[in-house]
Structure 1
């Protein structure tokens, strides 16, 4: 049968399109099938658990301070008229720190001096009366009672004169006390009052850190204070110089906790080192033993499941990861201490825990050079699971 050329071209085009569509669907089906059968293998970073330890490192931060600090104040009250030092100034014995108005105390000296002069004149007067009574008694012109009265008046005048002398000395001392001076060499670390302020007797005006032995003061919680005792050797580091490590000794442990922070003050003596300056931030490290063994893992290895802490462990034989609940002891600056849930030889995922799921397939590399590494905050050996 005869068919027009145009019609035959349209039929041929439709047939070709159908064949292409069918081929495309077949290829897509094969791709989806292969995608469904392809197994996801995710590279992760792991650590190997080695031998457990029972010793813990306790680290606390504190500040370098002088062993002796003096809060200096005036021994008399008055208005401050001059302050001669600032924070950070070095002072020597006798250096003037501040002065208060001495006008009233100088007037008191004048009054006491006048009273002393009057008392001395009174002593001279009664002394003449006593001598005259003694002469009359010898000639039988005066009685013994009159002589005794003259002697008593003289002794009373002498006592009044001595009291006037003491009052004058006290008034002069108060004038001296209007000047606040350093009695030991050191560094001014605080100013608590300024010019124009009226201070009472004993009110702290300046704080001076006495030159000599330095120490670090740290606050230790009550759960760890039993690990500290006088004479305990510790390591002290300075934030300003990471390479500097000093051997310190616990000098004093507070007998009671602070009422606000509920921590105990521990003072650590430092060796004499010119690089250690007052006010520097320091870290104190001490070792504490315990009965419960633990292993340390990086904080990145810790995850949560149903509100409980877990880690992801890689099975060496099946190369699958499984979640495992753990019991935590405490946290450190570099990781977390685990007391239960991990055994020697376990491979723990150290990074990428947010992508983990039970029975996720991984492949362990053949590198076994770090299998005996001890997992501690100081040595965090890791391997890549491919």
Structure 2
């Protein structure tokens, strides 16, 4: 009887002890602050390309005849004036050709004089009916042939005389020698480039474009140009020329940008950078810190404006910039995106949205 009463009493006494020894259930952590931002419009992006200032007019200068270079009077970087001598060929060959042409003219003149005298004599004999008409016609034809040969000889002499002057290469206009391609003693052919002249006047920027950029560009598109020597200033320009064929070595396409206004202090050879704003498929941009990835899929954390719960949203990325990433798909302009500490978040977590001044935001009222 006593044992039967003791057992229930011991059970009642140990129950509070067991309850006191068990751990309490963990409390739900309070919502953590989260810096949130809204995606910003990014309907345009800026691409930059290195380039070099060049002259609008850059003729390649060459001798009109072949020969051996006897004198080189200028070098790359020298400023030249119109008609200034730049180089000379050995004039001996041209002089000999001129003398030969002069002798041909003298011989043709003598032959014409003889043919004329012969024709006049045959005409007198024909008037006296001492020769036939056919004999006179032969004399007349000989005279005409001699006259034509003299005309030909004089034309050849004029060509030889011109060739004698072609042995001196002169500047066609004022400018700066951009490149030199020959040395004294070198034998050049007619038309072979000797110098490249950067003519005074309008300046342009020459740069190269990759193939993937061609679809977004057009002739006449406005651009901006920044010089290496003046990084604080940008000049307005226009895409004037775009090569239809790629360079066989670099596989890039040459392009030229002209300045919209005269820039007298810009010289050839200066380093430049061309900035091109493109309206393309990019629509929104978020801070780089807002983007994370897992298993090859990029995503951002979006805050529900009603209950402030987190949702992992897959997105499609465009181009990366210095501090932003462009989003081409997956976000709307009114979404609120966590911009910092994204690696510490989890799906369905509740947060307190704050701005960059650590002020709590009412997402429903925004």
Distance 1:193 1:304 in 2: 59
Distance 1:200 1:237 in 2: 41
Which residue of 2 is the match for residue 24 of structure 1?
none
Which residue of 2 is the match for residue 278 of structure 1?
268
Counting only pairs closer than 5 Å after superposition, residues 363-378 of structure 1 correspond to structure 2 as 367-368=357-358
CA RMSD of aligned residues (A): 3.5
Q: Say whether the 8 Å CA contact 2:85–2:170 is kept in structure 1.
A: yes
How much has 1:208 moved relative to structure 2? 0.4
How much has 1:321 moved relative to structure 2? 9.7
Q: Say whether the 8 Å CA contact 2:290–2:337 is kept in structure 1.
A: no
Q: 1:99 to 1:335 in 2, by over 3 A?
A: farther
Distance 1:370 1:280 in 2: 52
> Are 2:217 and 1:225 equivalent residues in the alignment?
no
Counting only pairs closer than 5 Å after superposition, residues 185-334 of structure 1 correspond to structure 2 as 185-270=174-259, 271-298=261-288, 305-309=294-298, 326-332=315-321
Distance 1:161 1:290 in 2: 72
Distance 1:174 1:216 in 2: 37
How much has 1:117 moved relative to structure 2? 0.9
Distance 2:162 2:180 in 1: 25
> Are 2:333 and 1:345 equivalent residues in the alignment?
no
How much has 1:295 moved relative to structure 2? 0.4
Question: How many corresponding residue pairs?
Answer: 326
How much has 1:203 moved relative to structure 2? 0.7
Q: TM-score, normalised by structure 1?
A: 0.73
Which residue of 2 is the match for residue 78 of structure 1?
67
Q: 1:302 to 1:102 in 2, by over 3 A?
A: farther
Q: TM-score, normalised by structure 2?
A: 0.76
How much has 1:267 moved relative to structure 2? 2.0
**Deviation digits for residues 48-69 of structure 1 (CA, Å, limit 9, x no counterpart):** 3443332222332222111111
Which residue of 1 is the match for residue 108 of structure 2?
119
How much has 1:190 moved relative to structure 2? 0.3
For 2:164, what is the secondary structure of its paired residue?
Answer: helix
Q: Say whether the 8 Å CA contact 1:329–1:338 is kept in structure 2.
A: yes
Which residue of 1 is the match for residue 92 of structure 2?
103
Distance 2:69 2:322 in 1: 49
How much has 1:162 moved relative to structure 2? 1.3
**For structure 2, which runs of at least 5 residues remain unmatched after alignment?**
1-28, 362-366
Q: Say whether the 8 Å CA contact 1:316–1:364 is kept in structure 2.
A: no
